[in-house]
Amino acid sequence: MLSELDITIIKVLQDDLPLVEKPFKLIADKLGITEKKLLDKIEEYIAMGIIRRFGATINHLEAGFAANAMVVWDVDDKRTKEAGRLMAQFAEVSHCYQRLRNADWQYNLFTMVHGKTREQCRQIVEKIARVVNVDKYKLLFTIEELKKSSIKYFT
Amino acid sequence: MSLPGKKGCVKQVDNIDRQLLNNIQENFPIGSRPYLKLAQKLGISEKEVISKINYFKKKGIIRRLGGIFDSKKLGYDSTLCAIKVPKSRINEVAEIINSIPGVTHNYLREHRYNMWFTLIAPCNEAINQILVKIKCDTGIEDIINLPTVKLFKINVYFDLNEV
């Protein structure tokens, strides 16, 4: 589905956008295409969902959101869709996934919850538990970030 | 890396900075002069926008500025894994896991499964091979693999006005 040109563009867009007046022109020149072509392609990728978001990734720890927890929920299989959608609506929830449970791990919904303090995280989670009506859950507070990076696709 | 409880440094930045950080997370202009457009919105100069972004990057407040791709749409498979690591071996095991290019995130969490990492690879077979290699290199058999069934939300937007 992706052409060779697409893959070349996507490779370059994984790097940091240059901090010059015309950053897209600079990239386009390097690729040997026009600035307009590049901008059109980016819009196309956004429309197709290939690019989820274009912009800055903020370090939330440096930005003052000091506490966060991965919350794992054991939700009845028949209710996962409804529960996942409800949890996703909370602003304090940045990620919400359904994952395949197994013999060693009974929990099937996963949310990342952010707050200024651990106590605030706990309060948010209690609120979610009430609203979604789930009582089997666990908070796994983050102790330390060991790695955070972006994957380089097509390398 | 920063630990929970450490005071953030955005508290020292002003209102314009917050607005800029909010805007470039979600509404980054796709156009010929994106920094000029942001400048006009905030009532400052293009040069100021560029130098502020430069500063935030140096300070580590901005990790990256660019496209965030959907791994699934690019044909990649992803999963979340957890491994039980003895306290005395955390640094050593983290080094082994972090050295794998497909490992994008790795966190130490409060649980008997204490190390949680995300893994992206071109196919599930590649993911399984990487996990076998981790077991082999660390000597730890206790790894759980939790492939994504459904994504409900991924929105790493932080409203700096809330800080």
Q: What angle do CA B122, B125, B127 make, to 5 degrees?
A: 65
Nearest to B80 among A54, A62, A99 (CB): A99
Chain B touched by A57 (CB under 8 Å): yes
Distances (CA, A) of B159 to A104, A128, B52, B144: 37, 20, 18, 34
- Looking at the predicted structure, is the pLDDT value of residue A13 above 90? yes
B6, B24, B160, B79: CA torsion to nearest 10: -60
Task: Give A-chain residues touching B6 at CB under 8 angstroms.
Answer: 61, 66
Integer Cα distance of B143 and B135 in angstroms = 8
CA distance B21 to chain A (A): 8
**B83: nearest Cα among B64, B106, B55, B63:** B106
Strands B115-121 and B103-109: antiparallel
Nearest to A96 among B61, B63, B153 (CB): B153
Nearest to B8 among A19, A63, A108 (CB): A63
CA dihedral over B15, B17, B23, B26, signed as positive or negative: negative
Chain B touched by A41 (CB under 8 Å): no
Entry pTM: 0.80
Asked if the Cβ–Cβ distance from A21 to B46 is below 8 Å, we say: yes
pLDDT per residue, tens digit, chain B (163 aa), is 332 333 444 445 678 999 999 999 888 999 999 999 999 999 999 999 999 999 999 998 898 999 989 988 998 999 999 999 999 999 999 999 999 989 999 999 999 999 999 999 999 999 999 999 999 999 999 999 999 999 999 876 666 666 5
> Tens digits of per-residue pLDDT, A53-62?
999 988 866 6
Asked if the Cβ–Cβ distance from A118 to B4 is below 8 Å, we say: yes
Nearest to B146 among A50, A65, A105 (CB): A105
Nearest residue in chain B measured CA to CA from A102: B146
**What is the pLDDT at residue B154?**
87
Contact of B99 with A50, CB cutoff 8 Å: no
Contact of A96 with A84, CB cutoff 8 Å: yes
Predicted ipTM? 0.83
Chain B touched by A47 (CB under 8 Å): no
> Tens digits of per-residue pLDDT, A18-77?
999 999 999 999 999 999 999 999 999 999 999 999 999 888 666 666 889 999 999 999
Chain A touched by B112 (CB under 8 Å): no
Contact of A73 with A111, CB cutoff 8 Å: yes
CA distance A106 to chain B (A): 11
Task: Give B-chain residues touching A66 at CB under 8 angstroms.
Answer: 2, 4-8
Percent of chain A with pLDDT over 90: 78
Nearest residue in chain B measured CA to CA from A14: B67
Asked if the Cβ–Cβ distance from B146 to A99 is below 8 Å, we say: yes
By CB neighbour count within 10 A (0-12 exposed, 13-18 middle, 19+ buried), where does B89 fall?
A: middle
